[in-house]
Every structure is written in structure tokens, then in C-alpha cells.
């Protein structure tokens, strides 16, 4: 089985919230919350794939992004490589263009959402982006 390479965006609003979306009932990992993104196509760079997916799924234009982490995860039915990027600037108002629910969530509240298993280290890393006094470290 080959590993599916996925560009994933942690979209930040500058006020301590990130955007999550809900996977559709017919998709792999159905009904779970995710960070928007999708499969990298042949010949694309990661930022190109990220920008294309976030435009297709949310209608936003990525203005700046930076690499956060790479997670390889083996589900029983699929192997994925999640190439995770922070999106620190974008234009447009994100909406679920594919009918998916989307929600801005304060970073500490991410703990209350069900994500796919591969997301555990991603959620931890996002929660570590902010110190306990609420000051952005970066």
C-alpha cells in the first residue's frame, strides 16, 4: 500500500483560534473533525497543494504559511503522510464550499473535538503554540 501525501493547514485567525472542518459521511475517517487540506498532486510543491486545497474547500487565498510538522500514520485501511503547515495570513472568509461544517475554535477547546488518530500529535503541537498565560510565543 502506498502512502497518501496530504497537505494540511492549521489556519490561524490572529486571536487564538484555528479553523477546523468536519469530514463528510462518505469520506475516510467520516464525521471526524480535521484541519482542512487534501492530497498533493503530481508536480505540486507543498505550499501549492495547500493553497489549492484551501481554495477549493474554503475559498480562501493563502498569503503566508510555514511548515509545522510531518506525521506518518498507518490506519488499518490507509497509510497517510500529513504535511502540516501553519497558515498565518490569508484573504477571504472561509466557508465550507463542499458542504462541510467549518468552525473557528479557541486553541484550548480543540481538546473537546474528535479528530482522526493521526491528528493526536498535531493537536498537541497546536496547543503548544500558545503559552499558558495566553501570549503567543511566536
Task: CB nearer to ligand 8DG: give 79 or 88.
Answer: 79
H/E run at residue 3: strand 3-11
Task: Tell me which stretch binds ligand 8DG (CB under 6 A): 22-30, 43-51, 96-104, 126-134.
Answer: 22-30
Contact 72, 80 (CB under 8 A): yes
- Rule CB under 6 A: choose which of 11, 18, 34, 83 binds ligand 8DG: 34
The one of Mg ion, ligand 8DG, none whose footprint includes residue 3, by CB under 5 to 8 A per kind, is: none
Pairwise CA distance, residues 78 & 12, whole Å: 28
60-91 burial code (b ≥16 CB/10 A, e <16): bebeebeebbebebeeeeeebbbbbbbbbebe
Task: CB nearer to ligand 8DG: give 42 or 133.
Answer: 42
Q: Does 82 bind ligand 8DG (CB under 6 A)?
A: yes
The one of Mg ion, ligand 8DG, none whose footprint includes residue 6, by CB under 5 to 8 A per kind, is: ligand 8DG
Pairwise CA distance, residues 138 & 9, whole Å: 17
Q: Does 65 bind ligand 8DG (CB under 6 A)?
A: no
SS3 130: strand
Task: CB nearer to ligand 8DG: give 41 or 136.
Answer: 41
Considering the complex, what minimum distance in angstroms separates the CB of residue 16 from ligand 8DG? 19
Amino acid at each position: 500500500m502506498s502512502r497518501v501525501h496530504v497537505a494540511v493547514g492549521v489556519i490561524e485567525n490572529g486571536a487564538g483560534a484555528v479553523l477546523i472542518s468536519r469530514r463528510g459521511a462518505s469520506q475516510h475517517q467520516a464525521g471526524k473533525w480535521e484541519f482542512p487540506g487534501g492530497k498533493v498532486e503530481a508536480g505540486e510543491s507543498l505550499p501549492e497543494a495547500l493553497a489549492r486545497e484551501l481554495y477549493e474547500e474554503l475559498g480562501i487565498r493563502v498569503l503566508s504559511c510555514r511548515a509545522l510538522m510531518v506525521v506518518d500514520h498507518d490506519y488499518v485501511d490507509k497509510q497517510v503522510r500529513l504535511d502540516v503547515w501553519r497558515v498565518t495570513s490569508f484573504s477571504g472568509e472561509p466557508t465550507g464550499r463542499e458542504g462541510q461544517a467549518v468552525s473557528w475554535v479557541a486553541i484550548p477547546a480543540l481538546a473537546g473535538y474528535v479528530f482522526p488518530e493521526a491528528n493526536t500529535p498535531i493537536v498537541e503541537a497546536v496547543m503548544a503554540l500558545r503559552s499558558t498565560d495566553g501570549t503567543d510565543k511566536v
